[in-house]
Structure 1
């Protein structure tokens, strides 16, 4: 693996059940702009159906102080493991990366309520001068926390 290939990952603790946050990302990502408006401006289904492998979604988001877009293929869904993988097929990320894949995996906490959300981002940079996507990983954490706050609020 060349130095242009990389992987970053992180965990975030949330209060919501793993199944609930997975359901939002898988079947209702178009609602995320309502609960994380500073980060996500919209999510549209371009091909397929919400929550199905092979579907294509188009995200409008705000990252590193700029409005950006990302067209993503839903590459994998595992409802039992609360897992979904998105492969970027068009958009701003591909200006810096030849390939970019994001995996969300939520696991119920062993003792008590809540879950651990594990984000993994695997990528290949166009060249070695490009930064690893740590700010995008933090972006995913922030969006996860916003979804969690919505799911655990009284009106959810």
Structure 2
């Protein structure tokens, strides 16, 4: 019997835009990612709930390592004081490799930090290393967008 526990990896990106503005973008304007980063994100659809609220569910279409993927993602927690949002993957390609997968974005002045918490489906499942450059590139592009807008 395999005893697999949750693991985590962290991606950090420096940001120049105000922390509140960056946090609020990911809370209320995430759909704009498709326009800002079309090479990484090709579609988004709100399936349930209201934009920027706990319980809202979206289906994302994205590209990782040249492969088109989908993920249905629910906002499970928002902490305005800590400027953090936690997303849980409900269904999609990620759950072929992981029993569970959550991402928490925490924003402070000068830094966006993405923490990926996952439980491997098997001992041979690799950690989600490809998501680190994706998160850093996304943060960098959103930061540049926010500085211009």
Query: Which TM-score applies when normalising by structure 2?
Result: 0.94
**Matching residue of 1:71:** 72
Question: Matched residue pairs, number?
Answer: 147
Q: CA deviation at 1:20?
A: 1.2
The offset of 1:62, in angstroms, is 0.7
Contact kept, 8 Å, 2:11 with 2:135, in 1: the verdict is no
> Where does 1:51-90 land on structure 2 (aligned, <5 Å)?
51-90=52-91
Aligned-partner Cα distance in 1 for 2:50–2:122 = 35
Q: Does 2:129 align with 1:137?
A: no
- Counterparts of residues 4-153 of structure 1 (less than 5 Å): 5-108=6-109, 115-153=110-148
List runs of 5+ in structure 1 lacking aligned partners. 109-114
Superposed CA RMSD:
1.1
1:3 deviates by 4.8
Give 1:102 shift. 0.2
Q: CA deviation at 1:5?
A: 2.7
Q: Deviations over 1:90-141 (max 9, x none)?
A: 0010010000000000001xxxxxx211110000011011110111122111
**TM-score normalised to structure 1 length:** 0.90
Residue 148 of structure 1 aligns to a residue whose secondary structure is: helix
Consecutive aligned runs of 4 or more in structure 1 exceeding 4 Å deviation: none
